[in-house]
Amino acid sequence: MIYKGSNIVNKIGNGNRIYLGNRLIYQLLQQPVEYQLPDIPFFFNFNAKNYADGVIPNTEGSIFGEDLIFNNVDGLDVYDDHLIFNDSCSFSKIYDSESKNPLNRSYGEPLTIIAKVRNPNNDELHLLANRSSDYNWMFRIYGAAWLHTSEGVMTDCPNVPLDSSQPNIVAIRCLTDGTGYGYNYTTGEQGETMGVNYGGESDGFAIFGGYADTEAGETFIGGEFYWIYVSTEQLTDEQILQVITYNENGKFTPPSVDDGGDDDIVI
């Protein structure tokens, strides 16, 4: 016989609960489901859910391999899943030479940027810039998300409108045929496909700023940041959705609970 204290276990099944009379005294939660990024090289993936003490850790397996360490944390309002920028707070990386910067792109080289952001006031926000003394490209958040290339006008660059009333999940995808376009996964709107003409090579990049070597007034002040993923590969639609699912859910979903059924263990 099996006992719980002086009580006999009178039913053992395949469920995940144990009852003492009508009282639930043990419940085994189902194992959580683990989400993964696509099996494709990515430069970095930063999620505000993981922010702590001025740092957003990079996702394991990234090419960049460094964490995002803010140069100023006093201007950040920290929430469970996002950061609000009330002051200039950025991160920058400068390489020994332009040739060592993996983010440099030339004509026909792919680039995929996926991010979740909100621009409540339609300000000129500067989320990611591959620029120092020269610039290769910049990912800007205005009334639209757009990739500023050697073409300095938003309407001449891959872009997609944003809805300022809510966080937007957007992607800019630059393809091997030399074209690119933006897509807003929150509103379902796709931007026009157009040519991508990258600028000159840069020896550094900045996140939440417009330059790697100086702030120069280009910041993310007024913006809300949730997460960003960057790959120098051309992701498929399915892979982009996988990135979104990973970042929206974290590595694990909340564990679900069996409804008991006939297989619960009764004591």
Copy the structure tokens of residue 227: 């997460």
Copy the structure tokens of residue 192: 């026009």
Q: Are 128 and 228 in contact (CB under 8 A)?
A: yes
What pLDDT digit, counting tens, does each position of 186-235 carry? 999 999 999 999 999 999 999 999 999 987 789 999 999 999 999 999 99
Q: Where are the alpha helices (DSSP H) in the chain?
A: 237-249
Cα angle for residues 96, 114, 156 (degrees, 5° grid): 85
Copy the structure tokens of residue 78: 């920290």
Give the integer Cα–Cα distance in Å for 179 and 160: 15
Per the model's pLDDT, the better-predicted residue between 14 and 50 turns out to be 50
Q: Which of 5-9, 73-77, 82-86, 241-245 has the lowest mean pLDDT?
A: 5-9
Residue in the block written with tokens 């958040």: 141
What pLDDT digit, counting tens, does each position of 130-151 carry? 999 789 999 999 999 999 999 9
What pLDDT digit, counting tens, does each position of 33-81 carry? 679 999 999 999 999 999 999 999 999 999 999 999 999 999 999 999 9
Copy the structure tokens of residue 163: 């809805």
Task: Give Cα separations from 204 to 62, 68, 222, 266 (angstroms).
Answer: 17, 14, 24, 64
Copy the structure tokens of residue 120: 């409540």
Give the integer Cα–Cα distance in Å for 43 and 228: 11
Task: Give the confidence band of 255 by pLDDT, cuts at 50, 70, 90.
Answer: very low
Closest to 92 measured CA to CA, from 226, 233, 204: 204
Give the integer Cα–Cα distance in Å for 220 and 90: 8
- In the chain, the amino acid numbered 55 is V
Distance of CA 168 to the CA centre of its chain: 11
Cα angle for residues 258, 263, 267 (degrees, 5° grid): 105
Judge whether residue 3 has pLDDT over 70.
Answer: no
Task: List phi, psi (to 5°) of 238.
Answer: -60, -40
Range ranked top by mean pLDDT from 15-24, 28-37, 93-102: 93-102
pLDDT of residue 7: 59
Judge whether residue 16 has pLDDT over 90.
Answer: no
Give the integer Cα–Cα distance in Å for 192 and 79: 34
pLDDT of residue 120: 97
pLDDT of residue 1: 46
**Mean pLDDT estimate for the chain:** 88
Give the integer Cα–Cα distance in Å for 32 and 203: 42
pLDDT of residue 215: 75
Look at residue 57 and give its three-state secondary structure.
Answer: coil
Copy the structure tokens of residue 157: 């660059």
Look at residue 121 and give its three-state secondary structure.
Answer: coil
Task: Give the confidence band of 265 by pLDDT, cuts at 50, 70, 90.
Answer: very low
